[in-house]
């Protein structure tokens, strides 16, 4: 599958901070990639168990990649970001993502990302659940809310003067914060889990 250099960079920069740093949770120290051939897009998801980020980004998905998904090690994707930033190719130039082998081709450079053999949390069900809830007051840990705001800033790499279209929906499970970066880019959805006061 193919994604523009700028969309890949913006998505990884927004989503990677949501991956866990806990060495005992390897599946959360990773980033989930999943093709959405019907919408010609790719889902990129990371969570640390307290916050979750989901970028739904425009991509070219050939029939051979329909339904493809993989869990890549976050540390390898940081190297991909460095290469994308350093490679002298146009922002609109396509990056080849091979989800089956882990090969990511950027210009003339090929990087292999480690594939993590583990299940990833049911992120889609959580987003659907929070997104369908009525507005409810929820208390948050401010550092998690700040992380969501920073990710929104990184996702809007064009830094448009018109600002981003944002939607906030709260529920007992957390709050869904959705950013629409416009056609040709996609959306970034983040879930911030509520603060649980000790009984």
pLDDT at 45 (0 to 100): 92
pLDDT at 155 (0 to 100): 67
The CATH number fitting domain 2-192, selected from 3.10.150.10, 3.40.350.10, 3.30.470.20, 3.40.50.300:
3.10.150.10
Residue 33 CB contacts under 8 Å (≥ 6 apart), including other chains: 42, 43, 44, 69, 70, 71, 72, 97, 99
pLDDT at 199 (0 to 100): 42
pLDDT at 175 (0 to 100): 67
**Any idea where the domains of the chain sit in the sequence?**
2-192
pLDDT at 34 (0 to 100): 92
pLDDT at 33 (0 to 100): 93
C-alpha count within 13 angstroms, C-beta hemisphere, residue 160:
11
Coil vs helix vs strand at 15: helix
Coil vs helix vs strand at 67: coil
pLDDT at 2 (0 to 100): 93
User: For the segment 50-69, what is each residue's pLDDT rounded down to a tens digit?
Assistant: 788 888 899 999 888 888 88
The alpha carbons of the chain give a radius of gyration, in whole angstroms, of 16
CA triplet 181, 182, 185: central angle to 5 degrees?
75
Low-confidence spans in the chain with pLDDT less than 50: 197-199
pLDDT at 124 (0 to 100): 80
């Amino acid at each position: 599958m193919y994604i523009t250099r700028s969309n890949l960079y913006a998505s990884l920069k927004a989503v990677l901070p949501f991956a866990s740093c806990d060495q005992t949770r390897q599946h959360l120290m990773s980033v989930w990639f999943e093709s959405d051939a019907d919408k010609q897009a790719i889902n990129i998801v990371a969570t640390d168990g307290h916050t979750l980020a989901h970028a739904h980004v425009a991509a070219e998905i050939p029939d051979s990649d329909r339904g493809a998904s993989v869990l890549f090690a976050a540390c390898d994707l940081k190297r991909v970001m460095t290469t994308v930033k350093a490679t002298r190719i146009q922002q609109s130039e396509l990056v080849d993502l091979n989800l089956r082998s882990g090969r990511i081709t950027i210009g003339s450079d090929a990087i292999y990302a480690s594939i993590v053999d583990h299940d990833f949390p049911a992120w889609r069900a959580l987003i659907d659940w929070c997104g369908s809830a009525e507005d409810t007051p929820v208390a948050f840990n401010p550092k998690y809310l700040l992380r969501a705001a920073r990710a929104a800033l990184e996702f809007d790499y064009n830094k448009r003067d018109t600002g981003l279209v944002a939607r906030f929906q709260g529920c007992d499970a957390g709050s869904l914060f959705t950013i629409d970066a416009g056609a040709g880019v996609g959306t970034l959805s983040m879930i911030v889990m509520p603060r649980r006061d000790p009984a």
